[in-house]
């Protein structure tokens, strides 16, 4: 159930009411993954070693033993969109596998060379192909296609009508979805026409025609399996017996990464508005929302990695790592699970290229360090030695630059119109010449307990949040998605440091008492997550910008007294003391 405006929520009017009617609560699927690997190493000379390997991977086509899979003959764009063709001729039923075909073998060669070209110095380089598997959630999408699982959408912007959110009341959107399910069940097998068809008599028969149905489409032909190409070049030098230095360049390119697109969306605002969505009706009115699964996304990563590792000697041990990198892609994190709140997974139809930008996890600079220092205190006095000798100081340091994020417009909602059955990033526009960052509180915008991060007057929403209509009036010129790109802005950086003090006391010959002082986030440095955006507003109208672009919550640290994965609750400085016996 969704609502586009507050009055809709107050009066119980659904913008959309979606109900799914599955044939069964669950379906079994069989997966088989086989890998064969061979590798050999040749010592070409006393200082040169070559390694070559190859992996052959077989990932089976997910199999349903009950033949309860239904899918289109190919991608949504490849099928006929003739509304007079029955859905039973478009949807292939009683299929046992999810995809039309999958690769029988995925060969992945890889090779590497190690060359000791000088004393204590080694050069290493390599290249390899590495395959990836599609997540099991793909089966959750295709495995719920009609007629084995039906999804209908009622409400103001739905396809089967109704407005009320409660069942059993006049003009109930919920009841309309149930009625649509009954019509579909009775008419699909008999080859009934869709309600979008004029029918033999020039008009559809509402008592027997099939209502629009949701479906997920798979790519045409054989599945293009996702894979990665990775290459590296490293120089490693050892100084003495304790210090090791390493500089390495790493490059990665990912190909055929999966993503989803809502390809049967349309808009009801005006002719030519919100390109690429058509006006008035979808591309194929026989269907409701259509999710197109594709494997055409890609990514590129290039990084310089520097490492210094000093083994324990003279009471000191240190390991430091610094990475300077750049990651660019069209869809991040495998295309199905968002890396962070507000991450964009589904592009606008036909606009995958516009999504190319920094990865959701693109950290340009990253530094980590771990150290151990045994204090060189050596008192000979028995009492002083027992209290002060043998103290150890250790700790960790984490620092990285900011993560990227996007700024979006408010959705269109005036007069019950908007984008129907479609999704994708509705970007805001940036105003040229206006600084995009603002760290001082703004009256009427910055809320108590938050820190302003963005300048709200640098962004303008395509849709005025106060009216739900396009800024400047509804017209093809004003009602277009904004000029901002994906992940063009950056949040705050991150700094974290822990300190540990440790002392051992010899109680008996075989028993030691260990005392620790643990100082997490010793400098009590606040680390905030990405700004709370909501939607951009209209410059000069603070009521549309309230709370926009402010930092309001701490981010989860990599260590902590309470463990990791607890979010900002673990972020303040915490101090703990503990004692334990070791024997």
**Count of domains for the chain:** 1
Predicted local confidence at residue 199, as pLDDT: 65
Backbone angles phi, psi at 355, to 5 degrees: -80, -10
What stretch of H or E contains 37?
strand 33-43
Domain contains 440: no
Asked whether the predicted pLDDT for residue 212 surpasses 80, the reply is yes
Q: Is residue 402 part of a domain?
A: no
* 338 domain-assigned: no
Contact 180/206 with Cβ under 8 angstroms?
A: no
Give percent of the chain above pLDDT 70: 99
pLDDT for res 181: 85
Locate 454 and state its tokens. 């963005």
> Could you give the percent of the chain with pLDDT greater than 90?
66
Write out the residue range of the structural domain in which residue 253 sits. 6-239+249-298
Average pLDDT of the chain is 91
Phi-psi region of 386 (alpha: psi -120 to 50; beta: other; left: phi over 0): alpha
Q: What is the pLDDT of residue 386?
A: 74
Checking if the pLDDT of 25 tops 90, the result is: no
pLDDT of residue 357: 96
Measure the CA–CA gap between 446 and 434, rounded to whole angstroms.
18
Is the residue at 90 inside a domain? Answer: yes
2-16, 120-134, 455-469, 511-525: lowest mean pLDDT where?
Answer: 2-16
Alpha helices in 160-240 (DSSP H): 173-187
The answer to whether the CB of 426 falls within 8 A of the CB of 347 is no
The mean pLDDT value for 61-72 works out to: 93
pLDDT in tens, 257-299: 999 999 999 999 999 999 999 999 999 999 999 999 999 999 9
Alpha carbon distance 306, 539 (integer Å): 45
List of long-range contacts for 173-177, beta carbons under 8 Å, 24+ apart: 173/14, 173/17, 174/17, 174/19, 176/17, 176/152, 177/17, 177/18, 177/19, 177/152, 177/153
Residue 43 in this model has a pLDDT that exceeds 90: yes
Other C-beta atoms closer than 10 Å to the C-beta of 248 total: 17
Answering whether pTM is above 0.75, one says: yes
pLDDT (tens digit, 9 = 90+) per residue, 288-335? 999 999 999 999 999 999 999 998 888 899 999 999 999 999 999 888
Question: What is the DSSP secondary-structure string of 85-146?
Answer: S-GGGTEEEEESBSSSB--S-EEEEEEEEEEEEETTEEEEEEEEEEE----THHHHHHTT-T
Q: How far is 379 from 324, CA to CA, in rounded Å?
A: 45
203 pLDDT band, cuts 50/70/90, is low
Rg (alpha carbons) of the chain, rounded to whole number: 30
**565 has a pLDDT exceeding 90:** no
Residue 540 lies in a domain: no
Averaged pLDDT for residues 237-243: 91
Answer with the residue of higher pLDDT: 189 or 125: 125
Fill in the DSSP letter of residue 569: G
* Confidence at residue 450, expressed as pLDDT on a 0 to 100 scale: 94
Strands (E), 243-390: 243-262, 266-267, 287-313, 316-329, 357-358, 365-374
In a domain, 526, yes or no: no
- Quote the CA–CA distance of 337 and 42 in Å, as a whole number: 42
Across the range 427-440, mean pLDDT stands at 95
Identify the three-state secondary structure at position 184: helix
**Are 139 and 29 spatial neighbours (Cβ–Cβ below 8 Å)?**
yes
Helix (H, G, I), strand (E, B) or coil at 446: coil
- Half-sphere exposure of 480 toward its Cβ, with a 13 Å CA cutoff? 8
DSSP letter (8 states) at residue 282? -
Q: What is the pLDDT of residue 202?
A: 63
The answer to whether the bond into 369 is cis (omega within 30° of 0) is: no
**In this structure, what token pair is assigned to residue 95?**
């299929």
Residue 2, helix vs strand vs coil: strand
Residue 94 lies in a domain: yes
**End-to-end alpha carbon distance in the chain:** 61
Closest among 113, 156, 111 to 130, alpha carbons compared: 111
Question: How do residues 482-517 score in pLDDT, each as one tens digit?
Answer: 999 999 999 999 999 999 999 988 888 888 888 999
- Taken in order 98, 103, 105, 107, is the CA torsion positive or negative? negative
Please give the average per-residue pLDDT across 419-425, as a whole number: 92
Containing H/E element for 52? strand 48-59
Q: Which runs of E-coded beta strand occur in 157-242? A: 213-217, 227-239
Asked if residue 350 has pLDDT above 70, the reply is yes
Mean local confidence (pLDDT), 424-445: 94
Show Cβ contacts of residue 56 under 8 Å, excluding neighbours closer than 6 positions. Answer: 35, 36, 37, 105, 106, 107, 108
Q: How far is CA 58 from CA 107, 132, 225, 458, 460, in A?
A: 9, 11, 11, 51, 50
Residue 555 lies in a domain: no
């Amino acid at each position: 159930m969704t609502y586009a405006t507050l009055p809709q929520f107050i009066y119980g009017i659904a913008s959309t009411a979606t109900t799914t009617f599955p044939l069964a609560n669950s379906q079994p699927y069989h997966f088989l993954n086989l890998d064969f690997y061979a590798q050999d190493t040749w010592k070409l000379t006393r200082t040169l070693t070559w390694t070559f390997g190859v992996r052959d991977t077989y990932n089976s086509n997910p199999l349903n033993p009950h033949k309860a899979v239904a899918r289109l003959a190919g991608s949504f764009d490849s099928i006929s969109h003739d509304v007079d063709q029955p859905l039973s001729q478009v949807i292939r039923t009683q299929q046992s596998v999810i995809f039309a075909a999958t690769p029988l073998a995925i060969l992945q060669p890889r090779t590497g060379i190690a060359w000791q070209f000088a004393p204590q110095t080694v050069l290493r380089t390599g290249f390899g192909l590495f395959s990836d598997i599609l997540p099991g959630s793909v089966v959750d999408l295709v495995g719920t296609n009609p007629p084995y699982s039906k999804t209908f959408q009622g409400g103001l912007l739905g396809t089967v009508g109704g407005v009320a959110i409660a069942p059993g009341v006049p003009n109930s959107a919920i009841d309309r979805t149930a009625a649509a399910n009954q019509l579909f069940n009775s008419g699909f097998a008999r080859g009934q026409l869709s309600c979008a068809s004029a029918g033999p008599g020039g008009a559809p028969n509402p008592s027997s025609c099939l209502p629009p149905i949701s479906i997920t489409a798979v790519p045409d032909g054989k599945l293009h399996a996702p894979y990665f190409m990775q290459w590296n070049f490293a120089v490693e030098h050892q100084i003495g017996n304790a210090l090791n230095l390493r500089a390495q360049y790493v490059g990665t390119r990912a190909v055929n990464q999966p993503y989803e697109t809502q390809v049967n969306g349309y808009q009801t605002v005006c002719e030519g508005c919100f390109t690429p969505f058509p006006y008035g009706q979808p591309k194929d009115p026989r269907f409701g929302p259509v999710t197109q699964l594709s494997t055409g996304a890609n990514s590129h990563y290039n990084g310089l990695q520097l490492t210094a590792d000093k083994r324990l000697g003279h009471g000191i041990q240190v390991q430091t790592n610094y990475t300077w990198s750049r990651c660019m892609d069209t869809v991040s994190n495998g295309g199905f699970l968002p890396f962070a709140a507000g991450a964009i997974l589904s592009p606008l139809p036909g606009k995958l290229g516009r999504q190319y930008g920094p990865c959701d996890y693109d950290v340009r600079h990253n530094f980590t360090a771990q150290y151990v220092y045994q204090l060189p205190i050596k008192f000979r006095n028995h009492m002083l030695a027992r209290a002060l000798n043998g103290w150890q100081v250790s700790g960790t340091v984490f620092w990285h630059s900011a993560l990227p994020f996007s700024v979006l417009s408010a959705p269109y909602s005036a007069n019950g119109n908007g984008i129907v059955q479609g999704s994708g990033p509705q970007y805001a526009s940036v105003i040229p010449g206006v600084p995009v960052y603002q760290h001082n509180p703004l009256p009427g915008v910055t809320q108590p307990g938050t820190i302003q991060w963005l300048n709200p007057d640098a962004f303008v929403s395509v849709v005025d949040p106060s009216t739900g209509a396009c800024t400047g009036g509804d017209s093809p010129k004003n009602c277009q998605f904004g000029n901002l790109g994906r992940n063009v802005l950056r949040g705050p950086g991150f700094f974290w440091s822990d300190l540990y003090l440790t002392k051992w006391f010899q109680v008996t010959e075989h028993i030691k008492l260990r005392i620790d002082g643990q100082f997490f986030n010793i400098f009590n440095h606040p680390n905030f997550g990405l700004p709370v955006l909501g939607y951009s507003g209209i410059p000069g109208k603070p009521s549309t910008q309230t709370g926009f672009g402010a930092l309001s919550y701490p981010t989860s640290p990599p260590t902590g007294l309470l463990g990791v994965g607890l979010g900002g609750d673990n972020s303040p400085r915490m101090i703990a003391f503990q004692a334990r016996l070791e024997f």
